[in-house]
């Protein structure tokens, strides 16, 4: 109970999603704790798998559908390579918050993976 309210029952997929996020956060923490760690595209795909595994088809795969205002699927590998280079070497004069903001913006702009709305639709089933 939380503040007198009974805890709602969780669906299996809700539990899997929480466990997936926990694993991904631990993985990212290990990377961040390693001095001078250079992130790779494989790391990003593995994080996606850890979060989305068992919830969507083909985790680790870049999206193949065209989404408005995002790069075409054929441009995703090139754009992700640029993003990884930026994460590892770009704009060293930026502070951590500024760099994180830039990375988040670019990752959202590229939108390399299937939309999380797809996960929400699967979870509702």
CATH number, domain with residue 20: 1.10.3290.10
DSSP state of 6: P
Tell whether 1 is covered by a domain: no
- Report how many domains make up the chain: 1
Residue 115's pLDDT band (boundaries 50, 70, 90)? low
Tell whether 37 is covered by a domain: yes
- Crossing angle (nearest 10°) for helices 12-32 and 41-52: 150
Tell whether 4 is covered by a domain: no
pTM to 2 decimal places: 0.77
Tell whether 85 is covered by a domain: yes
Residue 1 above 50 pLDDT?
A: no
Residue 35's pLDDT band (boundaries 50, 70, 90)? confident
Tell whether 7 is covered by a domain: no
Residue 10 above 90 pLDDT?
A: no
Tell whether 105 is covered by a domain: yes
Tell whether 71 is covered by a domain: yes
**Can you name the residues that pair with 2 across neighbouring β-strands?**
5
Residue 53 above 90 pLDDT?
A: no
pLDDT at 82: 96
- For residues 50 and 19, give the distance between their C-alpha atoms in angstroms, rounded to a whole number: 9
Average pLDDT over every residue of 12-35:
88
Q: Which domain holds residue 88?
A: 12-124
Average pLDDT over every residue of 83-101:
89
pLDDT at 66: 87
Confirm if 39 and 80 have CB atoms less than 8 A apart: no
* Alpha-carbon distance values, 41 to 13, 29, 52, 82, 122 (Å): 27, 17, 16, 10, 26
Averaging pLDDT over each range in 31-35, 81-85, 113-117, which range is the top one? 81-85
Tell whether 49 is covered by a domain: yes
Average pLDDT over every residue of 91-116:
88
- For residues 124 and 27, give the distance between their C-alpha atoms in angstroms, rounded to a whole number: 28
């Amino acid at each position: 109970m939380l503040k007198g309210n009974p805890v709602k029952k969780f669906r299996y997929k809700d539990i899997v999603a929480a466990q997936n996020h926990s694993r991904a956060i631990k993985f990212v923490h290990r990377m961040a704790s390693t001095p001078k760690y250079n992130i790779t595209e494989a790391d990003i795909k593995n994080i996606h798998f850890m979060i989305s595994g068992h919830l969507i088809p083909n985790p680790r795969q870049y999206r193949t559908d065209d989404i408005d205002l995002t790069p075409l699927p054929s441009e995703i590998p090139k754009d992700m390579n640029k993003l990884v280079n930026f994460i590892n070497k770009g704009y060293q004069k930026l502070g951590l918050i500024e760099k994180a903001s830039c990375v988040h913006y670019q990752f959202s702009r590229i939108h390399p993976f299937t939309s999380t709305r797809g996960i929400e639709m699967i979870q509702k089933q």
